[in-house]
A and B are shown apart, each in its own frame.
Chain A
Amino acid sequence: MSAITAPTVRGIGGGGWGQMRAKLNSARLHLFVPLTLYLLFTLVPFYWMVVFAFRPTTSHNPYPWPITLANFKVVWNVLGFGTFFENSVIVGVGVLIGLNVICAMAGYALARFKFAGRGALILILLCTQFVPGVMLLIPLFVIFRHLGLIDNLFALIIADIVFQLPLTSLLMSGFIRNVPVELEEAAMVDGCSRVRAFLSVTLPLLRPAFVAIGSFAFIGSWNNFLFALMFMSSQNHFTLPVGLDYTIGEFSVNFGALAAGGLIAAVPVVIIFAFVQKYLVQGLTFGAVKG
């Protein structure tokens, strides 16, 4: 519960340094030296991508100069990244919504009820993570073909939901368990039905969990190459990862286009991340019991 209501605790383990501002200058080095090093490690690869994306393919400079947009034009106009982008957004949003709805239901059941088969179910969910995707492609393809969903974006939405469900429903169940059941019980005493109690009391408190699971879902489907390539068979139904692979040809790799396409794929997600990271951090409590 504190994830939602308790004020953020600060300090390594909380509190201490906030009150010792006077001594801070030396103490802060412990923070900023490792942080700066790590930021360097994180950002240099991004910088390298920017260099390749913005400099001409013939340049060997370690900085993006002379600057050009030619790579972006290739990626957008010739390779058709506009369509791929649109498809990725459709699938990503579809997965985000679908997964959250199913997870909220399943997570609530797992967190609040004791019923026969609960342990087995959780075990099965964990086991679904043990098989590498490449072995499942052909049977999955057959299922989707029988459903008439080959080359239909719904197939991607379903497949992405199915393979992310186990992890995310466990996350959701951990989160729901942290919402004190007394709140619901109080509402029920006041005459609400269980459903009303869930909708009006618990659901609003789950907002951070929805954001967190939504992020997981969106990023997972945004980056899923294998399903997108295998279950779609139209140029205008492919998604961004497939588009990225187009820059790697049989006898040549267009590094500039690859980097430009990579930026187009990565930047929007990183920006969205920046906005939701606060909720994200609140929503991902793995269910340790909190006050």
Chain B
Amino acid sequence: MGVTQTMLEAEQRVPLGAGVGEPAKRRRKHKGWVPYAMLSPLVILIAAFVAYPVGSVVYYSFQNYNIVEPFLNGFAGWSNYSTMLHHDPLFWSSLLFTGKWVVTEVVLQLIFGMILALIMNEAFRWRGFTRAAVFAPWAVSGVLTTTIWLLLYDPQAGIVNYLSNIGLAPRGFAILADTHTVFWGAVLAELWRGVPFFAIIILADLQSIPRELIEAANCDGANAWTRFRWVVLPHLRDAVILSTLLRCVWEFNNVDLLFTLTNGGPGTETTTLPLYVARQAIDNHNFGYGAALTMAGFAILFVFSMIYLKLSKFGASTGYRS
């Protein structure tokens, strides 16, 4: 919340519970050194360990920099960028796929996460166990996630084989080998470990809805849907907006699942932009071109974040944007 509120230059915020109309300011103006001192570890760590590496990416995007062809290295001007924009169909197709991937994943994760959170907010026996089970995939590492799903999908050794034995799937059917199914195969695997993130965040926010609010709604005779639409959803609004944004960025940039599950294939069917970056850096040793591709991703994420936050009027719902 803090992020975007400032970016939108909303100057003052008043906690709702403090009483509507009360002009109190909750963040003190402070001209002294205290906030800077408290922030110094954060700022120093970021400056020391992030600024230089990120700066070097910017620098290399203007260089011919292939570590195995040192005789070709040197200043490149805008040539990496112009190659990318004008002569590289894979750049555009990977960009398109990235969009499809991010939207599908985030929308589905949000929907499933929301439903799960609503269910797990109920009281029922074994709720603790259920929550732990539902959250568990979050704790599983990337390499393990992909391997589990590779094993599940394997047409000989996988669960698919047993499904086809009882007639539920065609024999020898390989989900990840078929251009029609590979997308959903990968989406399912990523959902498995991605849904818990939304479920946890939304559940956390559900728990913090003031009881009076719900009771008031009940007195007014609201049914479950009305209550959800007019009381719960507005309350979840900011959490959903911010976690959706962070998830978009994460799904955009994270390559570990696709890298091992499909390796961007079949063909280049499931190659995202960052996966293409990784290919350039690792297989082609071409850090110059990889840097230019990285900058493109950076620019896209930056613009997207700004527009997303503007359009979603982040912070507006709670009614205290002045």
- A: residues with CB less than 8 A from B are 1-3, 6-18, 28, 31, 34-35, 38-39, 41-46, 48-49, 52, 60, 62, 101-102, 105-106, 108-115, 118-119, 121-132, 134-136, 138-140, 143, 158-159, 161-163, 165-167, 169-170, 173-174, 177-178, 180-181, 194, 212, 219, 222-223, 225, 240-241, 244-245, 248, 255, 258-259, 262, 265-266, 269-270, 273-274, 277-278, 280-291
- Given the known interface contacts A42-B134, A273-B139, the answer about A126 and B3 at a Cβ–Cβ threshold of 8 Å is yes
Q: Are A135 and B57 in contact (CB under 8 A)?
A: yes
On whether A288 and B205 interact (CB within 8 A), knowing A135-B287, A177-B2, the answer reads yes
- With A12-B224, A46-B136, A126-B305 already in contact, the answer to whether A34 and B119 are too (CB < 8 A) is yes
Give chain B residues whose Cβ lies under 8 Å from the Cβ of A162. 45-46, 49-50
User: Does the CB pair B9–A289 fall under 8 Å?
Assistant: no
B87 interface hit (Cβ, 8 Å): no
Contact residue among B28, B48, B231, B277 (Cβ-Cβ distance under 8 Å from A134): B277
Is B174 among interface residues, defined by CB-CB distance under 8 A?
Answer: no
Q: Report if B104 contacts A (CB, 8 A).
A: no
The 8 Å CB contact of A277, one of B131, B141, B215, is B131
Residues of B bordering A, CB below 8 Å: 1-3, 6-7, 9, 13, 15-18, 26-31, 34-36, 38-39, 41-43, 45-46, 48-50, 52-54, 56-57, 112, 115-116, 118-124, 128-144, 147-149, 151-152, 157, 159, 162, 192, 200-201, 203-211, 214-215, 217-218, 223-224, 227-228, 231-232, 235-239, 242-243, 246, 249-250, 253, 255-256, 274, 277-278, 281-282, 287, 290-291, 294, 297-298, 301-302, 305, 318, 320
Q: How many A-B residue pairs have CB under 8 A?
A: 360
B16: chain A residues at CB < 8 Å are 289-291
Residue contact A143 to B49, C-beta cutoff 8 Å: yes
User: SS class of chain B's interface: helix, strand, loop or mixed?
Assistant: helix
Q: Binding site of A, secondary structure by majority: helix, strand, loop or mixed? A: helix
Q: Are A139 and B218 in contact (CB under 8 A)?
A: no
A15: nearest chain-B partner, CB-CB: B214
Neighbouring A residues of B223 by C-beta, 8 Å: 16
Contacts of A125 in B (CB 8 A): 3, 46
